[in-house]
Structures are given as structure tokens and as C-alpha cells.
Copies of this chain bind each other. A is one copy, B any other.
């Protein structure tokens, strides 16, 4: 088999045009280099160089061998650089459902990254479907998302929560804890375009002959929440979303719920990566109290 030192000798000759100069370049004596090239040529069954008393020229085979040699040595250097550069860095690729407030995981991650040395987290934010796709493709290792019985993946339940109304705390309806759907008619409404129950919500209001008035459409839940606080309009959101100036109340009949948990990819991971994920799951469960305020809202 071709040896890598032979490739280095070969390319040194190509670059210098001389066995003697090439030998100096790769720090061996000229007979050593000559013998190395002889072994390479014997192995390949072809002359790679035409020797003259003045210069060395590539043969047809030698010409075709040059890109191969360069590619192999490039790949070797790349491999060494890759493994050497990161040392013991550990990578966790985390998916996060975009209708879960970033605050939920901020506390967990702040502490987890402090406790685990050399940790790098790649975060992916997406819809429920986007996250399921990425888990299926092995592009993320684990995700904080809605648990569904149809998922054939390893799931760790964390908490359940309902959906409710968010309105400015100076809003007339803010004095109540529960309102009838009819009280919402004509209400300026903010739509969260990426909500996973958007179509169910639309059907709910239609069924109750309630036509809210659309005043803002956004994909960013935090921006929706801010506009609620500003009195631009009201919206429906999962219970865990809170902000100063915002009152969270319930609407009779609007009984949607969801269960949030961690879902692992089905891809087989290295032992080290599996251990890290198990470590993350345990850590998240044990730090659950940090987020149970979102679970029991009544």
C-alpha cells in the first residue's frame, strides 16, 4: 500500500524538479528519497518520473498521480487538524419549540453550561413539525417540544400547561379570572402565526360566533407579548408566557392543553454524546421547579 511519506517525497520532487532539492525539502538524504520513490513506483507498477541529467520530468502516470497525492495529504492534514483542534469539547445540539419562551430554558442552560466543562450548544429554533423533521434526520440530538403519542421516539415528560388569554392589565376584562367567548367579540387581536393550535383557535371563535379584529400578525411570541402589554390588542398563548403589564386569564370552553418534554433523536450517537444527553435530561428534570410556575396556573 502507498505510504504517506512516499507521497510527501513525490510532491517535493514535483515542486522542485530535482531529487536532490526534494530530499533537502523533506529533511532526508537523497538516496533515501530515491529509494522511497522507487518503492512507490514498484507498488504502482508505473514510472512516475523520467530522469535526465539536468531535470526530472513527470511521466503520464506521474501527471495523473499528482492530484491524488495532493488530495490524500490534504485529507490527512484536515483529519489531524479537526481532531487536534477541539480537544475534549463536547457538543450538544438542542432543538427548541418556538412557542416556548426562551426564558424557560435560559435558567437551565445557564447552570448546565457552567457545570459541564468544554460544552458547546448548537441551538435550533423551529415549529413542531420542523423540530420533528430535524430529530428524524439526526440533525439535532434532543429537543424541548410538545410530546405526542404518535412520536416513536424516546420522550421525557416535563410538564403540562393550558392555553389562555393574554391582555393588558389595564384592560376592562383584566379584572376577571374567566370570561365568556362572547365577551371577546370585536376585540383587537394579535395573531401568533406559528402557534401550533392556530387553526383550532380559529375554529373555536367561529363556532362561538365570535369575530375578533386582527390588528397585528407576527411570528415572534415575545413581540406579541410586548404589544399586548402596550395595549395594542389581546392574544391567546400558552400559560407560561408572562410579562409585567400583562394579565393572564382563562376563556370558558377554550380548553386546549399540551404536554412539554424532551425528545431524543433516534439516530445512534457516540457513547460520549449519549452520556451528555442523559446528563442534560437528568439536569433538566432536577431543575424543573425553576419552571413549575408555568404548570399550575390556578
Q: Which residues in A have some Cβ–Cβ distance to B below 8 Å?
A: 1-5, 43-46, 50, 57-65, 68-69, 71-72, 75-76, 78-80, 82-84, 86-91, 269-273
Number of copies of chain A assembled together: 2
| In contact, A44 and B84 (Cβ under 8 angstroms) | yes
Contacts of A58 in B (CB 8 A): 270-272
Give A87 to B79 CA distance when docked, in angstroms: 31
**Pairs across A and B, CB under 8 Å, 12 listed:** A1-B76, A2-B4, A46-B88, A58-B270, A58-B272, A61-B88, A63-B269, A63-B272, A64-B83, A68-B75, A68-B83, A72-B76
| In contact, B72 and A75 (Cβ under 8 angstroms) | yes
Q: Given A45-B87, A272-B50, verify A82-B68 contact (CB < 8 Å).
A: yes
The answer, among B3, B46, B61, B273, for a CB contact under 8 Å with A60, is B273
| In contact, B4 and A270 (Cβ under 8 angstroms) | no
Beyond A46-B84, A60-B88, A63-B270, list 16 extra A-B contacts (CB 8 Å).
A1-B4, A2-B76, A44-B83, A50-B271, A59-B272, A60-B91, A61-B83, A61-B88, A62-B270, A63-B269, A64-B82, A65-B82, A65-B83, A68-B79, A68-B82, A72-B75
Contacts of A60 in B (CB 8 A): 88-91, 270, 272-273
Give A2 to B75 CA distance when docked, in angstroms: 11
Contacts of A64 in B (CB 8 A): 82-83, 86
